[in-house]
Structure 1
């Protein structure tokens, strides 16, 4: 092949490739345009939906609607009450709007609201209420209780049995509906196959007032669940900074709840756990052994430490599969803001006072001094 022929062939090849590139670019441009249109439609639809939900339900409505906000209600439960009574279009959007505006100090009381009210007008109204009557009864759920222990508290304060309570909090269909109601609290993490009870650690411990003589089990459960949802929402920013999920937070906090004998110890115990996790050292915390055994004991024996169970942190590294008890705000805050220490060991003496150590030899010395 002479030089002229070679040049012609190269020219033809370049021309063909240039044409192919042009076709590919056109295809890519069309695909990109379609994608942008789809995103635009989706974004516009989402914007339109949210914007609509932020508007009054019916700007021309005249009639007033009687709304009762029970004492102790959080933003989550209030949002549901407003949606149920047709005063707001979407409970979730009202809740997020109130939190965005940093509005949470709502008052229990009787309200006369209308469908023509804006969200800001509703919020202002909810801040002026007065307690309108005493609760029919109150129920105190202490920190550090398992679901089965909470069931006993419910049975003591209501006509429901502990078995009925446990059947409700372990019902798969009911739990699935709760995930839809509390998507920021209940995630797929609760479906870990090693978790004993799906909602363990998710019912916030507190004293709850009830304004009806016989509230349903769903009312009782969702009152506690809604409170936990509101509590956890306060720490979203810190959780994001620490790259910590809700499930990890409640699991970690539950260990502190069970281990701490004094409020001031929680941050230091948290530092011990974080220090151990940082070097892949087992947490070796006795409450997880007791949870593995499914029974309370005054003293954990060496043979107990060998129980083959995912929750046993003597046998398994890292956090257990899920929370081992209900945790209060103090333990949640300690889990997010631990002390900065070099401790890797601690023990509680016979008076319940904790003693910390940096090395195993120091820990053995503490055992000899405080437990022998």
Structure 2
């Protein structure tokens, strides 16, 4: 008879194993890790939902001051700055409360894209709208100096017996901005121009020796090139002159100096002098011929340049006409009495005048005179031809 209990007995080799404690612990750890990971995912989702909701709630919301602001503050807009970059600069200086306050207001004004690099006088704590309107106004732009060809370092006499500001005065005036500015005076600018180390100011190496020999107040004449210069309000005279002279040296290098002087028989500084005479004596269309007259006279053994512009230069007169008594004054700039070129250039020169000095027009002329009211000159080979042109010029009312 079969034992009933035998029906449920384990077959040989199939007895139940005792529980494995290590295996149980591993399963427990997996359950805990899974639970923690699930909780972390839920937290991330929750944070994302909350952040998204906050962003949705804040659409169109940003910090912005109210009103026109107070006080004065100078900010610099750099080349290549975008509207956002300008907004960040204004926000960092506390002109506006946030970048978005400015950029949002700027969206309504297309003129914002016309902002030029340079310095702007703004106010503290302006609304974005006020900042946009103000930075686009003429009153905001400060420190810009437009130096034109033919200008001189020192002030000149004006026809009404007043004075026309020279380059140094204009640079000094540009350091002033705001209600309580810290300004460089014209006298301080002139003092630094006359005494500062020329090399430290950025004067090119090829000009140092000759410029150092000049009268102190004329050392930088001709070495400051025409162009737009942005002067930082409140800056020192030395820093202003260093920036302007360094930029001018780069412009002269682009124009070809000193390499262009090679093979001309003149030094780079002498070519700069010739260019300044060309600039001061006529209009652009005549530059090449005027340069030729100067070159021809310089190579003639017994001819003076006889240029009225050099007579009037130390007298600070802009006129091309001179009086007999002025021509009789002794001095290094009197080209009626002295042979050769004056000690320094006599004005800022354009690239056209410099090119004419380097490569004068072909011709045998030795005389010229302004013979038409528009400034056009007539050129002659002989004194007799020249005298005839003078009479014609007077008849036309040219001078």
Name the TM tier (shorter chain): 0.5 to 0.7
CA distance change for structure 1 residues 282 and 146 in 2, over 3 Å: closer, same or farther?
Answer: same
Superposition pairs of residues 111-130 of structure 1, within 5 angstroms: none
Partner of residue 332, structure 1: 354
Which residue of the partner structure matches residue 175 of structure 2?
158
Q: For the residues of structure 2 that align with 1:70 and 1:258, how far apart are their CA atoms? A: 35
The answer to which of 273-282 and 227-236 deviates more is: 227-236
SS in 1 for 2:207: coil
Counterpart of 1:300 in 2: which secondary structure? coil
The CA deviation at 1:195 is 6.9
State the distance in 1 between where 2:208 and 2:336 align: 27
Structure 2 counterparts to residues 233-272 of structure 1, below 5 A = 233-234=253-254, 235=256, 236-260=258-282, 262-272=283-293
What's the offset of the Cα at 1:193? Answer: 5.3
Are 2:293 and 1:276 equivalent residues in the alignment? no
Structure 2 residue runs of 5 or longer lacking an equivalent are: 1-75, 86-113, 120-141, 155-165, 177-183
Task: Point out 4+ residue stretches in structure 1 off by more than 6 angstroms.
Answer: 107-110
After superposition, the Cα gap between the structure-2 partners of 1:69 and 1:270, relative to the gap in structure 1 and judged at 3 Å, is farther
> Aligned ranges for residues 91-106 of structure 1 at < 5 Å?
none
CA-based RMSD: 2.7
**Pairing of 1:1-372 with structure 2 (within 5 A):** 71=79, 134-136=117-119, 137=142, 138-148=144-154, 149-159=166-176, 160-171=184-195, 173-175=196-198, 177-178=200-201, 181-192=202-213, 197-210=218-231, 212-234=232-254, 235=256, 236-260=258-282, 262-280=283-301, 281-297=303-319, 299-349=321-371, 351=373, 352-372=375-395
Q: RCO (CA 8 Å, sep 6+): is it higher in 1 or 2?
A: 1
Which one has a bigger Cα radius of gyration? 2
Q: Give the secondary-structure state (helix, strand or coil) at the position aligned to 1:292.
A: coil
1:318-342: CA deviations, max 9, x gaps? 0001111111211111100110111
State the 1:371 CA deviation.
1.5
* Cα pair 1:158 1:214 within 8 Å, conserved: yes
Instruction: Verify the 8 A CA contact 2:311 2:326 in the aligned structure 1.
Output: yes
**Alignment gaps of 5+ in structure 1:** 1-67, 72-106, 111-130
1:317–1:268 Cα change, 3 Å: same
Cα distance per residue 1:16-75 (max 9 Å; x no partner): xxxxxxxxxxxxxxxxxxxxxxxxxxxxxxxxxxxxxxxxxxxxxxxxxxxx9954xxxx
Map Cα deviations across residues 110-150 of structure 1 (whole Å, 9 max, x no partner). Answer: 9xxxxxxxxxxxxxxxxxxxx99731132111111211111
Change in Cα spacing, 1:133 to 1:199, as seen in structure 2 (3 Å) is closer
1:86 equivalent in structure 2: none
Cα 1:214/1:250, change in 2 over 3 Å: same
Deviation at 1:185, TM superposition (A): 4.2
When normalised by structure 1's length, the TM-score is 0.60
By percentage of residues, which structure has more helix? 1
Contact 1:108–1:132, Cα closer than 8 Å, also in 2? no
